[in-house]
């Protein structure tokens, strides 16, 4: 599933293509994707001026001048393609008066499209109760330490909880924990404040680097232009089981990067350097 850097990259592409443009035509080809799509979506899109975009966690919100926002979630295989026609699985097509075209393509149909009043975005059922943005001022080591106090859940599961922090997924939790030198299995409540400060710093740094690289292309993800992301070439542990990490010499001195399963998801880490 696309995580925060991928969603941010897609949103920036849409922003440059649609903001300030008026929608001339919108076609909805499915009544449902993951959930039912509001049937009035094409009517509210047609004729509206796109005022801008906002990302909340792994969701995008396209704000219109009629007081409505379109909530977009890419799911497992969703893509937003600019000025390209996808013959299959294009569920929503948006055309602008300037001649631009955007298609929402989702072969596996785990994505979502919905409508919400712009003034009520944060109370939408999919957004209400989400934690702070990891790139925002509310996110810090002090915040993590305060919320983790007394918690026995592993720190990786703690980071993946969208009520704790919005937008972090499996890849970037593994990468940030490696950079911070913290084992993904350590209880969140057992991590000292200085180490939480370092973790918050590395979460932020990892996400910023990934956004600059256009995200990580794994399976279906592409940028709106159709280009791949490049951050997967910079993964330090994710997907690298058995390889030496950048701090270790590898066999026989150490066993290389380990892979375990936590809450049904693969976790990658260095058991020698992450404590």
Q: Among all residues, which ones are annotated catalytic?
A: 2-3, 58, 265
Q: 66 vs 3, 19, 52, 115, CA distance in Å?
A: 29, 14, 12, 12
Which two three-digit tokens encode residue 202? 């590395």
Q: Could you tell me which residues come within 8 angstroms of residue 63 by beta carbon, excluding any fewer than 6 positions away?
A: 50, 51, 52, 53, 54, 69, 118
- Distance CA(103)–CA(179), nearest Å, equals 37
The structure tokens 């949103």 sit at: 11
* Three-class SS of 128-190: CCCCCCCCCCCCCHHHHHHHHCCCCCEHHHHHHCCCCCCCCCHHHHHHHHHHHCCCCCCEHHH
Q: Could you tell me which residues come within 8 angstroms of residue 192 by beta carbon, excluding any fewer than 6 positions away?
A: none
Taking 3-state DSSP, the helix, strand and coil percentages for the chain, each rounded to the nearest 5, stand at: 30, 25, 50
Residues 172/210, Cβ–Cβ less than 8 Å: yes
Which two three-digit tokens encode residue 184? 């993904």
- Distance CA(8)–CA(60), nearest Å, equals 8
Residues 114/71, Cβ–Cβ less than 8 Å: yes
């Amino acid at each position: 599933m696309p995580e925060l850097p991928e969603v941010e990259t897609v949103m920036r592409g849409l922003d440059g293509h649609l903001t300030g443009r008026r929608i001339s035509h919108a076609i909805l080809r499915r009544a449902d994707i993951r959930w039912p799509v509001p049937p009035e979506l094409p009517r509210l899109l047609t004729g509206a001026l796109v005022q801008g975009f906002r990302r909340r966690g792994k969701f995008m919100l396209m704000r219109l001048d009629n007081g409505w926002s379109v909530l977009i979630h890419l799911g497992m295989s969703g893509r937003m393609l600019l000025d390209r026609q996808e013959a299959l699985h294009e569920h929503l097509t948006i055309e602008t008066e300037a001649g631009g075209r955007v298609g929402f393509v989702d072969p596996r149909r785990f994505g979502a499209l919905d409508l919400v009043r712009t003034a009520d975005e944060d109370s939408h059922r999919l957004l209400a109760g989400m934690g702070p943005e990891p790139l925002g001022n509310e996110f810090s080591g002090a915040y993590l330490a305060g919320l983790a106090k007394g918690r026995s859940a592993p720190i990786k599961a703690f980071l993946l909880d969208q009520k704790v922090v919005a937008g972090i997924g499996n890849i970037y939790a593994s990468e940030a924990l490696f950079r911070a030198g913290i084992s993904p299995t350590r209880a969140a409540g057992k991590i000292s404040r200085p180490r939480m400060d370092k973790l918050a710093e590395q979460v932020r740094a990892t996400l910023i680097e990934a956004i600059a690289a256009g995200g990580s292309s794994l399976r279906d993800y592409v940028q709106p232009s159709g280009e791949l992301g490049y951050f997967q070439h910079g993964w330090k542990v994710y997907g690298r089981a058995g390889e030496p990490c950048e701090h270790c010499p590898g066999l026989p001195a150490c066993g290389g990067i380990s892979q375990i399963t936590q809450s049904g998801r693969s976790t990658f880490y260095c058991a020698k350097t992450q404590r």
